[in-house]
Amino acid sequence: MHIGDPKNTEDNIYVLGIESTSHTFGIGIVEYNSRKKSLKIIANEYDRYVPAKGGIHPREAALHHTRVAPQVLKKALEKAGTKITDINAIAVSLGPGLGPCLRVGASLARFLASYYKIRLVPVNHAVAHIEIGKYLFNFKDPLIIYVSGGNTLIAIQKKKKYRVLGETLDIPLGNLFDTFTREIGLSPPYVVNGKHQIDICAEWGKEFIPLPYTIKGSDLSFSGLLTAALIQAKKHINNKVELGNICLSLRETAFNMLVEVAERSLVLTRKKEVLLVGGVASNKYLREKLVIMTKMHEAKYAGTPPEYAGDNGAMIALTGFLGYVHGVYIEPEKAFIRQRWRLDEVELPWLPNQ
Amino acid sequence: MVTESINILDKGAESIIIQGELLGKKVIVKYRIKKPYRHPKFDEMFRKTRTKTEAKVLSELCMNNVNVPTPLIVDLKNSVIVMEYINGEKLSDLIDHIDMENLKTIAYKLGYQIGIMHSLNIYHGDLTLANVLINNGKVYIIDFGLAGYSRDVEEYAMDIHLMKKSLLALAPDKMDVFMEKFIKGYSESYQGNVHVVLQRVEEIRLRGRYVEERLKKKILREKYAE
């Protein structure tokens, strides 16, 4: 990776971002107006792979991505009213994620960059989730809560990196809900009309039953909770109310764990802003809990809206823009995917050195 | 008796710390507050168990000369512990402007204390810089809400792992020096096999999500890249 001076330009800057880490193939375009010094998302197109049965099959998902990629790209360019030759930089999410899926995005990015001779900017998927949240709410230094199907972590920015204060030791929160609803036969589909199956199931229940609550410092563990909930659920698989109680208690326990860890970190760091990002950010129950918690500590709260909470190309383009103006780029032949690429490994020149 | 005027010293994540007086001595009252975002049944269960473990662990550590506040009164019904007042500063607040020599001594003393604690089969569960108080060079460990008893090395290793992570987040450039001294102190007081614990610390780190060293293919890929 190179870090150097970006080209000084008076023209508008266009960055195209490609996202394909998991179930979503997305392309987003951002426009930077050099005169007004303003950044705008001008396209955000995506197509989601929905498994017919089971969870995400990496190969099936990758096949889906290759099928939809040309269409999504075309649609994004049309929506933005730009030609591919107008683009100043291609940003691509190189990881972390599922290998076969990542390869689709990376191949397209390498092709576009080398064929049209455009700069290629590597983007860490987790960083992108955070950057779009900061951009949308104009947050400067928030406590970050990143919850999705592949990540559950609490982070802050310090000395040019995002530092992880606490994270899951085994499975992520989104994965917990997905696996649970799948194992009891409610999913797929995992999300119906913007509502996760766990929330639909929780509506059937009334009572709270104790389930394992595992916190180690600021780290979380959900696997024991999943096993315990599944054992309970299999006993009452035909009783709608009992099943509802388990869903309710599972969600309650998991969210309480997360909010408690977030609260600890908030007290520790004394941040004035709390930002919720990632796919699970669209869950209204988690949002409610966080609103109450942040109010108790007089911190501002914001969560990314559903449009930008799930994986999308716009966040990659946005982060790619930050990379581009700070001279972060990579040769196409060296743009390898990284299935494992921790958030706290990435040095980000646009973060303050404090 | 505890004085009536309320002087809130600190608002923690799960409790309010109030300063009071008991028989002419300064004390602090730790009150675990109700959390409106939790299910009421869950909340009650939660506060009770944490208060109970904390009181139990604190008294045992006190008896074994580990620097912790002495518990004086425990009220399980209201989730309150009255304990000795310690006039100290949080290490998390100090770490940015403390000189290196001082920090080394603190790290050594802290490691030593933790070693004694682990030898008693007690783990802290939330060992971070914010839970270490410094008073005149004396190192105190506080906040045992997540503590417990265990003979499992995993729990001891987790304490050290958490301390490392806390350093990495708050003072990344001082981590190596701090941990070196910490381990030195720890090795001197811990009665079990230190290497087993340290090995487990490394294992815990590798277990984390997206840790690349776990991916064996990386070696091959880097060979191609050159």
| Any A CB within 8 A of B169 CB | yes
What is the per-residue pLDDT for A353? 84
Is the per-residue pLDDT at A53 higher than 70?
yes
Judging contacts by C-beta atoms under 8 Å, the chain A residues touching residue B13 are 260, 263-264, 266-268
CA angle A113, A119, A123 (to 5 degrees): 95
Do residues A322 and A91 make contact, with C-beta atoms less than 8 angstroms apart?
Answer: no
Nearest CA in chain A to B12: A267
Do residues B83 and B155 make contact, with C-beta atoms less than 8 angstroms apart?
Answer: no
**How confident is the model over A130-148, as a mean pLDDT?**
94
Q: Are residues A171 and A318 in the same domain?
A: no
Rg over alpha carbons for chain A, rounded to the nearest Å, is: 20
Give the CATH number of the domain where residue A114 resides: 3.30.420.40
Q: A317 CA to chain B: closest CA distance, Å?
A: 23
| Any A CB within 8 A of B41 CB | yes
CB–CB of A267 and B13 under 8 A? yes
Query: Model confidence over A244-256: pLDDT tens digits?
Result: 999 999 999 999 9
Neighbours of B225 (CB within 10 A): 9
Residue A94 inside a domain? The answer is: yes
Q: Residue A349 gets which letter from DSSP?
A: T
**Number of domains making up chain A:** 2
Q: What is the pTM of this model?
A: 0.85
| Any A CB within 8 A of B210 CB | yes
ipTM of the complex: 0.77
Q: Are residues A16 and A51 in the same domain?
A: yes
Judging contacts by C-beta atoms under 8 Å, the chain B residues touching residue A217 are 125-128, 146, 158, 162, 165-166
CB–CB of A340 and B210 under 8 A? yes
| Any A CB within 8 A of B12 CB | yes
Residue A135 inside a domain? The answer is: no
| Any A CB within 8 A of B219 CB | no
Q: Are residues A282 and A197 in the same domain?
A: yes
Query: Model confidence over A92-107: pLDDT tens digits?
Result: 999 899 999 999 999 9
The pair phi, psi for residue A160, each rounded to 5°, is 65, 15
Catalytic residue among B75, B93, B126, B159: B126
Min mean pLDDT across A101-115, A162-176, B210-224 is at B210-224
β-strands B138-141, B132-135: how paired?
antiparallel
Classified as helix, coil or strand, B164 is helix
What is the per-residue pLDDT for A128? 95
CB–CB of B13 and A334 under 8 A? no
* Residue A9: closest CA among A331, A323, A325: A325
Do residues A125 and A21 make contact, with C-beta atoms less than 8 angstroms apart?
Answer: yes
Quick one: how many helices (H) and strands (E) in chain B? Answer: 7, 10
Residue A350 inside a domain? The answer is: no
Q: Are residues A165 and A125 in the same domain?
A: no
Query: Model confidence over A287-296: pLDDT tens digits?
Result: 999 999 999 8
The pLDDT confidence band at residue A344, using thresholds 50, 70 and 90, is confident
Q: Are residues A178 and A287 in the same domain?
A: yes
Q: Are residues A71 and A149 in the same domain?
A: no
CB–CB of A215 and B39 under 8 A? no
CB–CB of B172 and A215 under 8 A? no
Q: Are residues A121 and A31 in the same domain?
A: yes
Classify residue A326 as exposed, middle or buried by CB count within 10 Å of its CB (0-12, 13-18, 19+): middle
What is the per-residue pLDDT for A9? 56
CB–CB of B146 and A216 under 8 A? yes
Average pLDDT, chain A: 90
d(CA B130, CA A266): 12
| Residue A42 domain boundaries | 12-130+309-345
B159 in catalytic set: no
Per-residue tokens: A186: 């409610």
Q: Are residues A84 and A173 in the same domain?
A: no
What is the per-residue pLDDT for B117? 96
Judging contacts by C-beta atoms under 8 Å, the chain A residues touching residue B11 are 267, 297
| Any A CB within 8 A of B11 CB | yes
The pair phi, psi for residue A330, each rounded to 5°, is -150, 145
Q: Are residues A58 and A178 in the same domain?
A: no
Q: Are residues A254 and A322 in the same domain?
A: no
| Residue-wise burial string across B27-54, b where 16 or more C-beta atoms lie within 10 A, e elsewhere | bbbbbbeebebbbeebbeebbeebbebb
What is the per-residue pLDDT for A3? 47
Judging contacts by C-beta atoms under 8 Å, the chain A residues touching residue B92 are 268
CA–centroid distance for B155 within its chain: 12
Residue A204 inside a domain? The answer is: yes
Among A166, A172, A292, the residue with its CB nearest the CB of B36 is: A292
Residue to test with chain A: of B17, B201, B204, B210, most A Cβ within 10 A: B210
What is the per-residue pLDDT for A5? 45
What is the per-residue pLDDT for A248? 93
CB pairs under 8 A between A and B: 111
Three-class SS string for B21-41? EECCEEEEEEEECCCCCCCHH
Q: Are residues A325 and A186 in the same domain?
A: no
Residue A206 inside a domain? The answer is: yes
Residues β-bridged to residue B84: B27
| Any A CB within 8 A of B220 CB | no
What is the per-residue pLDDT for A8? 52
Full pLDDT tens readout for chain B, 226 residues: 444 557 777 777 788 888 888 888 889 999 998 888 888 888 888 899 999 999 999 999 999 999 999 999 999 989 999 999 988 899 988 988 888 999 999 999 999 999 999 999 999 998 989 899 998 889 999 999 889 999 999 999 999 999 998 898 888 889 999 999 999 999 999 999 999 999 999 988 887 767 766 655 555 555 555 4
Residue A4 inside a domain? The answer is: no
**How confident is the model over A32-50, as a mean pLDDT?**
91
| Any A CB within 8 A of B98 CB | no
Residue A171 inside a domain? The answer is: yes
d(CA B48, CA A20): 46
CB–CB of B172 and A169 under 8 A? no
CA angle A260, B92, A300 (to 5 degrees): 45
Which of A197 and A8 is assigned the larger pLDDT?
A197
Q: Which DSSP string do the residues of A164-198 spell out, in sequence order? A: EEEEBSSS-HHHHHHHHHHHTT--SSSEETTEEHH
Residue A352 inside a domain? The answer is: no
Q: Are residues A155 and A302 in the same domain?
A: yes
